[in-house]
Amino acid sequence: MPLSEALDRVRELLLSDQLVRAVASGSRRGDAPPWRRVELRPVDLAAGRHLQHTAYDATQAHTSNAAEGAGAAAAVDELLGLPFGSWHVETGATTLQLRVTKKGSAQLHEGPPTGASPAPGAATHDRGKRRVLDPADAWLVAVGISDTEGRVKPSRRDKHRQVEQFCRQLATVVEDALSSGRLRTPTADDPLRVVDLGCGNAYLTFAAYRWLTEQRGLPVCMTGVDVKAQARARNGALAERLGVTGLRFVAAGIGDVALDPGPEVVLALHACDTATDDALARAVGWRAPVVLAAPCCHHHLQAQLRRTTPPAPYALLTRHGILRERLADTLTDALRAALLRLRGYHVEVVEFVDSAHTPRNTLLRAVLAGPGGTGGAGAAAVRADYDRLVEQWQVTPRLAELTGLGPEP
């Protein structure tokens, strides 16, 4: 088969809404690509669906995201123009193997998808699996996670897993807060006030609302906040189409949105960089009893670490870019947790979904303590450890600036 014809088929599958994953590797005779391997998969970000491609050189992985549409098409065309020796593409409908021969032609094979449905009567991994939300729920179908027959699309399994695991985390913290009295029992006249700050395409906004109302049976008044007016319009139209009356969307910045009375449950899921700090600061200002935040990128401290000399003997932790980034991620979230504790919250930092489904899988769960908050020797110890940590690493967390909790004089 002519190579150009085979690559056209690869392109078609890479841009399909059923793409699960793809891998390009190897080299052609007399020519080599700049990367030893490239992996592609669809991801759902706050800005919408993207095609994520991770390119590996001899020492590092380089990840970038291209928005669905023209951006993804341009990224795919660039990759297909590189002299890779083979392509492996998996979609919900087929598995493709392409190998470039020594003469420059293509050997192409297509077969059933790797995750093809088993024959009737065969055991399946998902049989009997307890779902938090029914895959046939109208909103899962409306946003494209499930098909019209109520089955999760292969290309959206990672997103569905995130939704499921997030609802489980929400259930854990809300149930504990209700049973301990730290979260009041809402009524029809005074429903539970919930806000999702930086809601983006609102997958998890709808999921939280569905679980709280349909599964838990709580009266809820929920607000989704995003700075983009088009997000408000799109999400609001979906809520109206689904007949959801207790969920509204507003276009505003996290620091600008006015909610009176303040929310009792604050969600901030994959808000980028210091937007997570903005959300946590608003939650602290509202004295929200329950806070769930899943941080995204952590550029603020990364930039500071590049400019400072690390304390001895930790220079090896910042010498390599990838290790410095991971250290900044850990340091940022550890300091966020400490600052929340100093503001009277009990805090847990947990993994809310396996890293195979998203690399941004850390979740901060915070519940406001009872009268008096966190005080005494415990708070003093947290404060002392916090002050030593920021002094030794010569960093200033954005959340400290927003909440007025700088280092002790």
pLDDT in tens, 222-250: 999 999 999 999 999 999 998 888 999 99
Residues 170 and 106 in one domain: no
Q: Is residue 324 part of a domain?
A: no
Residues 187 and 274 in one domain: yes
Residues 14 and 50 in one domain: yes
111, 126, 159 - which closes a domain: 111
- pLDDT band at residue 375 using 50, 70 and 90 as cut-offs: low
Q: Is residue 288 part of a domain?
A: yes
Mean of pLDDT values over 377-394 = 88
- Helix axis angle, 203-210 relative to 157-180, nearest 10°? 50
Beta bridge partners of 268: 293
Q: How many domains does the chain have?
A: 2
Give the SS3 label for residue 110.
Answer: strand
| pLDDT above 70: residue 130 | no
Mean of pLDDT values over 137-148 = 87
Residues composing the chain: 409
Separation of first and last alpha carbons in the chain: 73
CA distance 100 to 114: 22
Q: Is residue 347 part of a domain?
A: yes
Token duo for residue 382 = 């947290």
CA 185 to chain centre: 30
| pLDDT above 60: residue 407 | no
Q: Residues 44, 159: contact at Cβ < 8 Å?
A: yes
CA distance 205 to 216: 15
Domain extent at residue 358: 138-296+343-374
Mean of pLDDT values over 362-388 = 79
Q: Which residues contact 342 (CB under 8 A, 6 or more apart)?
A: 374, 379, 382, 383, 386, 405
Residue-level pLDDT at 370 = 64
Residues 364 and 222 in one domain: yes
Q: Nearest Cα to 137, choosing from 169, 155, 164?
A: 164
Token duo for residue 97 = 């193997």
| pLDDT above 60: residue 129 | no
Residues 63 and 194 in one domain: no
Which of 33-37, 299-303, 321-325, 364-368 holds the top average pLDDT? 364-368
Q: Which helix (H) or strand (E) holds 276?
A: helix 275-286
CA distance 172 to 167: 9
Q: Nearest Cα to 262, choosing from 217, 229, 213, 223?
A: 223
**Whole-number Cα distances in Å, 98 to 52, 77, 195, 255:** 21, 16, 48, 50
Residues 150 and 107 in one domain: no
Q: Is residue 39 part of a domain?
A: yes
Residues 184 and 100 in one domain: no
Residues 171 and 94 in one domain: no
Residues 97 and 157 in one domain: no
| pLDDT above 90: residue 192 | yes
| pLDDT above 50: residue 122 | no
Residue-level pLDDT at 275 = 87
Residue with tokens 């929340």: 340
Q: Residues 175, 375: contact at Cβ < 8 Å?
A: no
Residue-level pLDDT at 284 = 95
Residue-level pLDDT at 59 = 65
Residue-level pLDDT at 406 = 59
Q: Is residue 301 part of a domain?
A: no
Residues 250 and 347 in one domain: yes
Q: Is residue 406 part of a domain?
A: no
| pLDDT above 70: residue 408 | no
The CATH number of whichever domain residue 255 belongs to comes to 3.40.50.150
CA distance 265 to 182: 11
Mean of pLDDT values over 162-189 = 88
| pLDDT above 50: residue 68 | yes
| pLDDT above 80: residue 61 | no
- pLDDT band at residue 123 using 50, 70 and 90 as cut-offs: very low
Lowest model confidence (mean pLDDT) among 91-100, 112-121, 357-366, 391-400:
112-121
Q: Is residue 334 part of a domain?
A: no
Residues 107 and 143 in one domain: no
Query: For residue range 82-101, what is the model confidence (pLDDT) as tens digits?
Result: 999 999 998 888 889 899 98
Residue-level pLDDT at 374 = 53
Q: Residues 279, 266: contact at Cβ < 8 Å?
A: yes
Handedness of CA 292, 295, 296, 299 (dihedral sign): positive
- pLDDT band at residue 197 using 50, 70 and 90 as cut-offs: very high
Token duo for residue 173 = 């913290």
Task: Name the percent of the chain lying above pLDDT 70.
Answer: 90
Residues 184 and 40 in one domain: no
Model-level pTM? 0.67
- What number of other Cβ atoms are within 10 A of residue 209's Cβ? 22
- What number of other Cβ atoms are within 10 A of residue 45's Cβ? 17
- pLDDT band at residue 149 using 50, 70 and 90 as cut-offs: confident
Beta bridge partners of 39: 23, 54
Average pLDDT, the chain: 85
Q: Nearest Cα to 174, choosing from 216, 225, 134?
A: 216
Task: Name the percent of the chain lying above pLDDT 90.
Answer: 40
Token duo for residue 370 = 């009872």
Q: Is residue 330 part of a domain?
A: no
Residue-level pLDDT at 282 = 95
| pLDDT above 50: residue 121 | no
